[in-house]
Amino acid sequence: MTGFTKLLLTAALLGGLAAMPAYSATAAAGAKAEAVAPKAKTAQQERMTTCNKEATGKKGDERKAFMSSCLKGEAPAPEKELSASQQRMKTCNADAKTKGLAGDKRKAFMSTCLKAK
């Protein structure tokens, strides 16, 4: 390597190092400006935030269906009322659970409970 080549390489290296602080200071100032002024949320982002809060407690397919309809802006479907037999089944199940019944005792209890009107 000749002396002139070494001089050119040294100058290029020093020139690059001299430019680096100016670049990093500019980049840092740009990043600081972005951090100070966050972008306003779009309508879709606002809707997503709202729907997520309303979907707490829902899981699986129920959450998926709720989020889909909520993000589309549809009103939630009203919960359908249980028929008389479904209501009786729900009540009997709850009673059996509170009594701690299992096996044959539960089966016998459910049979008599569901037959009662």
pTM: 0.34
Is 42 a residue whose pLDDT tops 80?
Answer: yes
Q: With respect to residue 55, please indicate whether it lies within any of the assigned structural domains.
A: yes
In the chain, % of residues over pLDDT 70: 68
Q: With respect to residue 91, please indicate whether it lies within any of the assigned structural domains.
A: yes
Q: With respect to residue 105, please indicate whether it lies within any of the assigned structural domains.
A: yes
pLDDT of residue 92: 92
Q: With respect to residue 23, please indicate whether it lies within any of the assigned structural domains.
A: no
Note whether 92 and 113 are within 8 A (CB).
yes
Dig out the tokens for 14 from the structure.
Answer: 């020093």
Note whether 79 and 90 are within 8 A (CB).
no
Q: With respect to residue 7, please indicate whether it lies within any of the assigned structural domains.
A: no
- The DSSP secondary-structure symbol of 73 reads T
First CA to last CA distance, the chain: 105
Note whether 101 and 109 are within 8 A (CB).
yes
Cα distance between residue 29 and residue 82, in whole Å: 62
pLDDT of residue 109: 92
Q: With respect to residue 21, please indicate whether it lies within any of the assigned structural domains.
A: no
Dig out the tokens for 37 from the structure.
Answer: 């002024």
Total domains present in the chain: 2
Range of the domain at 97: 84-115
pLDDT of residue 99: 92
Q: Does residue 55 sit in helix, strand or coil? A: coil
Q: With respect to residue 17, please indicate whether it lies within any of the assigned structural domains.
A: no
